[in-house]
Structure 1
């Protein structure tokens, strides 16, 4: 007898009615259920993001080599005179403030309320709020920046992780939770391009180091994966039918993928060159370091966005179990966390 079957009086088994709280609770424990696979995937992604967060902090903040490189990034941004990059960056960052955050929260709330997805609305707002609280707490009280290279005073204050990038990424990830599954790729792709630009602009303006933006990306990714894992544990996720991506979605996801691949690829090459190949006195070091940091900041934000979309592929977050009712009808086509059709399997 399967763990989600109930023994009847005549000794046979009757499938539980799909969409009930009992069905969802059992589905959250069954090893082969859709909810369990989603939960495990999200927990692993959350743990991986936390580990990468620690690696970035240890490698770029707690080592002399990392601090020298990021100081060179801040020095090298002064060499970027194309289109008055720093001036434009400061103008863009002025819009990422308290009032814009309030507008973003109102938009997330309005979308969730109009769709009557009250639980998802709370989770989306929780993603933004928890990410910001963790960012400020870690920056102010936990993750300090020791002076390992005798840097000038204006380079000593800690800024890991970036609050501006946290706002942009958490709003984008919150949007991924409240929009319908069919519109997720388009909405998150557009917002992901904006978030990647914010990450790059913070470096161009000298407000943050590359590690700050990468750390913020990973922190918000860990938060949203953890919250989706909780939803899966409660049986509130379901399989979505596989459909080819519409052209309008591809027009957004392709540039986002190019940003991620080119940003990370070029950034890593320049990072190795500027950190380990060039001498500290080389005049080209600041310029190459800045280009590496700028590329890495944009590429990491785009990559985090694509990773979340991949983790939520074929996952519908609109499942909403109802109260349990025992019926005499045998369920032959389950639509809950135990799909039978191959195209409902999570991949």
Structure 2
């Protein structure tokens, strides 16, 4: 007589479920994108609280603004081309280019996605700057105290770059971001040199755009997971890297021993912070499939194999 053990199969034991070729893969890339969106948004809040809402932050940045206002014109000639740019025309043309690239690639849905990720952070920047955020007068007198956080110029430059990275083929994404980051850095430093914006305005602008685009990419990735397994250390960098950029910039600016030194530090930090934020965004965005038609083609190919 046979003795049944827990390991002995019976006729009532259901067979193991077959693994379907199109079973939903792990969504680790989505987790990294969510971490990046949270990290950028959290760093945006930290930058606002540290630089705008504290006396120490305002004193450090107001000194830079007053110094920039009194500089000889020739000292900042390198930044003057920005003053001759019509922002509405340039950034409107950028939107047309984004749509045109999508049409040339015959990817209409991709163009809509890129255009939304381009316009949404621009609208958010203006809404926050004009209606929701303020700059209390808790620092030194003598500098403008209307709210300028975040910078519209830097928001637009960052949004153009990230939208181009979305609409172009994914194999070019890293190169586009690497080549375009110095352009965003120049815009950020130029707005400080021309006394239009403070360091925090430029950093906050980059962080805001990166947060919005990362959040949008997380939504796309959750709907079209690619199954990539991403090391936890990359998730930690995506979450903590942005706030490290803010804290490092604040520490350097606050430790400068003279106003000219703070002015130079603000220029350098504006440029470096812009590059750092773009590169932090580039990692999680590198292989996100923003194109719905591409996702359908990949699934069809898997079904036929």
TM-score normalised over the length of structure 1 = 0.70
Q: Please give the secondary structure, in 2, of the residue aligned with 1:112.
A: helix
* TM-aligned CA deviation for residue 87 of structure 1: 4.3
- Equivalent in the alignment of 1:271: 253
User: How far apart in 2 are the matches of 1:290 and 1:131?
Assistant: 28
Retained in 2: the 8 A contact 1:266–1:292? no
- Count residues with an aligned counterpart: 274
- Equivalent in the alignment of 1:198: 187
Retained in 1: the 8 A contact 2:67–2:259? yes
- Equivalent in the alignment of 1:110: 100
The root-mean-square deviation of aligned C-alpha atoms, in Å, is: 3.1
In structure 2, relative to structure 1, the CA distance for the partners of 1:12 and 1:64 (3 Å cut) is closer
Does 2:282 align with 1:291?
A: no
Retained in 1: the 8 A contact 2:135–2:147? yes
Does 2:62 align with 1:71?
A: yes
Which of 87, 106, 110 does residue 120 from structure 1 map onto?
110
Q: Which runs of 5+ in 1 are unaligned?
A: 1-9, 28-32, 240-262, 279-284, 334-347
In structure 2, relative to structure 1, the CA distance for the partners of 1:294 and 1:118 (3 Å cut) is same
Does 2:223 align with 1:234?
A: yes
- Equivalent in the alignment of 1:249: none
Does 2:40 align with 1:49?
A: yes
Retained in 2: the 8 A contact 1:221–1:304? yes
In structure 2, relative to structure 1, the CA distance for the partners of 1:118 and 1:236 (3 Å cut) is farther
Retained in 2: the 8 A contact 1:238–1:317? no
- When structure 1 is superposed on structure 2, of 61-70 and 96-105 the one drifting more is 96-105
Q: Please give the secondary structure, in 2, of the residue aligned with 1:145.
A: coil
- Equivalent in the alignment of 1:129: 119
Q: Please give the secondary structure, in 2, of the residue aligned with 1:155.
A: coil
User: How far apart in 1 are the matches of 2:109 and 2:260?
Assistant: 48
User: How far apart in 1 are the matches of 2:297 and 2:91?
Assistant: 34
- Equivalent in the alignment of 2:296: 321
Q: Which runs of 5+ in 2 are unaligned?
A: 1-13, 229-244
For residues 136-147 of structure 1, what are the structure 2 equivalents within 5 Å? Answer: 136-147=126-137
* TM-aligned CA deviation for residue 188 of structure 1: 2.1
| 1:157-191 C-alpha deviation (Å, 9 max, x unpaired) | 11000000000000101111111122122222222
Higher helix share: 2
User: How far apart in 2 are the matches of 1:324 and 1:331?
Assistant: 6
Which of 209, 213, 217 does residue 202 from structure 2 map onto?
213
- Equivalent in the alignment of 1:251: none
Q: Please give the secondary structure, in 1, of the residue aligned with 2:295.
A: coil
- Equivalent in the alignment of 2:278: 305
In structure 2, relative to structure 1, the CA distance for the partners of 1:120 and 1:267 (3 Å cut) is same
Retained in 2: the 8 A contact 1:93–1:201? no
Retained in 1: the 8 A contact 2:58–2:140? no
User: How far apart in 2 are the matches of 1:190 and 1:117?
Assistant: 24
Which of 152, 161, 169 does residue 150 from structure 2 map onto?
161
* TM-aligned CA deviation for residue 193 of structure 1: 1.4
User: How far apart in 2 are the matches of 1:211 and 1:122?
Assistant: 31
Retained in 1: the 8 A contact 2:59–2:140? no
- Equivalent in the alignment of 1:244: none
Retained in 1: the 8 A contact 2:154–2:188? yes
User: How far apart in 1 are the matches of 2:290 and 2:200?
Assistant: 32
Retained in 2: the 8 A contact 1:161–1:215? yes
Retained in 1: the 8 A contact 2:173–2:286? no
